[in-house]
Structure 1
Amino acid sequence: MTDAVIDVTAETFQTQVMESSMQKLVLLDFWATWCQPCKQLIPVLMKLANESNGDFLLAKVDIDQNKELAEHFQVRSVPTVKFIRNGQIVDEFAGLLSESEIKGKLSNHIKRESDELYQQAMEVLQQGDNSAIAKMQEICLNDTDNQKIAIHFASILAQTQQFEQAKLFIDALPEILHNKEEIKSITAQIGIAESAKDLPDPASIMKAIEADPNDLKARHQFSQQLVLQGDVASAMEQLLEIIKRDRKFKDELGRKELLKLFDIVSTQGEQGAKIVSDYRRKLALALN
């Protein structure tokens, strides 16, 4: 063991975990000697703890020797890791995660030098100096373990419709980040933006729909325009109308595009979750 890694018992829990969590993040790792995934996870956690320069403490709990602690934390399977800060659980995971995935979780709870540099660049950008964009990208790419700022920067590029730069930035990120829901949402927005590059002007599209409500190509184009304008719910209505009028139009284009919009909206908090839930129900009705 090192100063960054300790074994915890019920007797030492209060001082070693709860009191330590008032000073730094504590990762409480519930494991068992008979658990093969635990044996794979522990070396990864120990490596990260020893390399963290004291940013967090790894506290290991053998559940067979400390059943009361496992019961208290409602541990149902091992490995289970609880993130403790100021005496409270602030995050957790169960099962085997990769080193990159664990680093991503840690980046949400440990302040890094790149956080401060990124915040400084953000303040410059907010003052109207767009040269800060290049600096923000440089900071993100110099510390790809800080997944929080990478996701935030990609979202800024998408929100300001700098889709080509957003695509290049995402391509430069580690593969593990590509599977993040937020990045998948941004990637979906980029795809829609790229396909909407050569659209007719909105007035022409509306005129085509008014002239022929069954002009499904125009309805699809209108849905793309609505997404770019930020009106995703109205875009979903247009796609539902395509499905109702011709479910098989262009190899079920309406359904496929609607699923892409679900990816975009699903990351937008409770309101986004409600929109997705409502339109999943509408999609099911339209398909039946």
Structure 2
Amino acid sequence: MSGVVDLGAVKAASEAKAKAEQARADASRQGGGAAAAPGSLVIDVDEAGFERDVLTRSTEVPVVIDFWAEWCQPCKQLGPLLERLAVEYNGRFVLAKVDVDANQMLMQQFAIQSIPAVFAVVAGQALPLFQGAAPEAQIRETLDQLIQVGEERFGLTGIVVDAEAQGEAGQMPAEVPAGPYDALLEAAAQALDANDFGGAVQAYKNVLADDPVNVEAKLGLAQAELLGRVQKMDPQQVRKDAAEKPDDLATQMAAADLDLVGGHVEDAFGRLVETVRRTFGDDRDAARLRLLELFEVIGPDDPRVAAARTALARVLF
């Protein structure tokens, strides 16, 4: 996934916003219009209906696209979680599910390399959100930021859902947790404490191979990988290279790692946000993913993470 996707036929954002405002004004004059059924919050989308179901709909509400396939095991864990959140958010976004096996053209258009892959389309503009399964807390933060940007930049306030039918839609199956993994997680923590970062990484990956959304394993893996990278660095040389090569992706990511380990959290986040702004294509996506990894290390509830997510969203949008 590489940056904002060029959809070609999509209208400019300002025109999309005007359409959304006009639609809400028309609904208001007609007494609020017909409320959407809860079933319309989660829709299956194919190539033939993509313009109608995603592009046009995105002028009224952010559309989150879940690229999945029947054979993909992580998809089967992420999909129900996204569906449950779509119902819980009650019309603040719509979830569009795309089976990549049946819609190869869409897969190519969005440059999907692996699944699950999650994108958003807001006022006709598409951008990648995350790839692979992610912790629920991280997904919620991403959705909250997406909704905030949709409201502030494009005036998208979501759709009205039929309250009487909402109860039935809320009965979607919840995630079935896998586990327990107490022994594996304890072994990983002991390896981390002993500075055996390679062993800790492998132990956490063993958990995630079976339970890709395990929050403790995701956090531990991010910490172990970070410490393993920093352990091999010459701090003085890294900072010298970062100062001399502001456009070099590798040196900026290395300096951000050092910043974080040294307690300079805002500096680390700011450096990577700036790197995302200055880069394109695969380099931009690599910088974005490294920033998300560092968010995992600090934790989603930290206000510095929230501030950096806001800054990242501004750069991406």
Q: Classify the TM-score, shorter chain.
A: 0.3 to 0.5
Highest Rg: 1 or 2? 1
TM (normalized to structure 2)? 0.39
TM (normalized to structure 1)? 0.43
Which structure's relative contact order is higher, taking Cα pairs within 8 Å and 6+ residues apart? 2
